[in-house]
């Protein structure tokens, strides 16, 4: 996952995530103005050459100005990102502890813009030694530097080549800490970075060792269920519950299963697919152990809706989970067909509480109605 260039921190006072803020706010930053017309091809080329000269200078002020210029030039121009690739090593040197503090932010933001949508630059930045100083910024008191560092790791982790390197660099435990204690934007970017990194098998084991479920659930409870943040939280949970430690952590966390069920009901199509996948993985691993904790959170209405309104994968997973949640895991006789309606009716008969049962019955009726309408449309299309 990669994002538009030019990062700006939003107000940290926000208590929840909107669908737009669930993405890194890289695209929301206002850039330096460019009154001299260097955004034209000829002007940009001249400005690029000047920036490359200044970044190689021994004068700290010249290097600082070059970093600001590079950030501006690479905000939207893929061509400038390629032309300014030679600036990566000097910019990384500006991140070192012996560099003036004022250099850190400007150099980091310039590198961030250079990495966006440029695989070669992503790899070059890591090879130039940027990870060590970037990771150190995650532990600094400066919220700005922490946010910039988190956004940088998010962008760099989009490269398949960088994933194992970042995984062994010590960044993962610190990213989990950011999910727990960072600013609103840093939390959102950290969860996306962890999701990127989790697609490498070795990294998933490292993430699991940090006991991330409590932090992920806390974030999932507070974010908007249709947001990208919720989607990536559920994606991580789906991967982590493939391990016994992950399943135990989720059911042990107060409101953990409920948070997943809420996404299953109110999330985006992709989020709901991850949510039902997580619950199905749990039930398939040990039906006797996890059936009751899942049923207790009122999952049936959401599953019913998914069987007709989810993605093809969600529909299949929801139907499989409904079969596992019924009283007996064994097939019914031919006199009692194993239809979705029979499965659901069997589950409804076991639900405690009139409200929950009535809601499930209403959802079943609506599901049947939608199914009939879809079948009718299909027949009409065939008749044309």
Distance separating alpha carbons of residues 243 and 236, to the nearest angstrom: 12
Coil, strand or helix at 165: helix
Q: Is residue 134 scored above 50 in pLDDT?
A: yes
- Radius of gyration of the chain measured on its C-alpha atoms: 25
Q: Is residue 334 scored above 80 in pLDDT?
A: no
Give the per-residue pLDDT at 7. 53
* pTM confidence score: 0.80
Q: Tell me the pLDDT tens digit for each residue of 212-238.
A: 999 999 999 999 999 999 999 999 999
Give the per-residue pLDDT at 30. 30
Question: Over the range 331-369, which residues count as b (16 or more CB within 10 Å of their CB) and which as e?
Answer: eeeeeeeeebeebbebbbeebeeeebbebbbebbeebee
Distance separating alpha carbons of residues 346 and 283, to the nearest angstrom: 17
Residue 347 — pLDDT band, cuts 50, 70, 90? Answer: low
- Mean of pLDDT values over 281-294: 96
Give residue for tokens 């560092």.
149
Q: Is residue 77 scored above 90 in pLDDT?
A: yes
Which tokens in the block code for residue 198?
Answer: 């989790």
């Amino acid at each position: 996952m990669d994002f538009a260039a030019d990062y700006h921190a939003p107000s940290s006072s926000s208590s929840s995530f909107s669908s737009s803020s669930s993405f890194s706010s890289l695209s929301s930053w206002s850039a330096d103005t460019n009154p001299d017309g260097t955004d034209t091809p000829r002007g940009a080329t001249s400005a690029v050459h000047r920036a490359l000269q200044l970044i190689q200078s021994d004068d700290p002020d010249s290097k600082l100005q070059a970093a600001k210029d590079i950030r501006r030039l690479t905000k939207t121009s893929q061509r400038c990102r390629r032309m300014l690739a030679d600036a990566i090593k000097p910019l990384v040197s500006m991140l070192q502890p012996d560099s003036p503090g004022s250099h850190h932010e400007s150099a980091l933001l310039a590198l961030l813009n250079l990495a966006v949508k440029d695989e070669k630059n992503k790899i070059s930045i890591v090879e130039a030694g940027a990870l060590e100083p970037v990771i150190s910024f995650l532990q600094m008191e400066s919220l700005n530097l922490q946010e910039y560092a988190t956004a940088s790791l998010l962008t760099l982790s989009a490269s398949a080549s960088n994933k194992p390197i970042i995984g062994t660099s010590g960044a993962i435990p610190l990213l989990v800490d950011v999910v727990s204690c960072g600013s609103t934007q840093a939390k959102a970017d950290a969860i996306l970075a962890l999701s990127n990194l989790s697609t490498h098998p070795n990294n998933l084991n490292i993430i699991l060792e940090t006991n991330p479920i409590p932090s992920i659930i806390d974030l999932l409870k507070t974010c908007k269920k249709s947001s990208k943040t919720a989607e990536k939280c559920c994606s991580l949970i789906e991967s982590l519950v493939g391990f016994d430690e992950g399943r135990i952590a989720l059911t042990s966390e107060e409101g953990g299963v409920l948070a997943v069920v809420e996404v299953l009901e109110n999330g985006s199509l992709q989020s709901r697919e991850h949510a039902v996948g997580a619950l199905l993985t749990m039930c398939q691993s040990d039906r006797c152990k996890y059936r009751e904790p899942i049923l207790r959170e009122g999952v049936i209405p959401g599953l019913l809706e998914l069987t007709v309104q989810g993605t093809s994968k969600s529909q299949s997973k929801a139907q499989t989970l409904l079969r596992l949640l019924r009283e007996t895991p064994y097939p019914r006789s031919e006199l009692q067909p194993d239809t979705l309606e029979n499965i659901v009716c069997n589950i409804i008969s076991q639900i405690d509480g009139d409200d929950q049962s009535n809601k499930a019955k209403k959802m079943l009726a609506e599901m049947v109605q939608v199914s009939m309408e879809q079948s009718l449309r299909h027949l009409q299309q065939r008749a044309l």
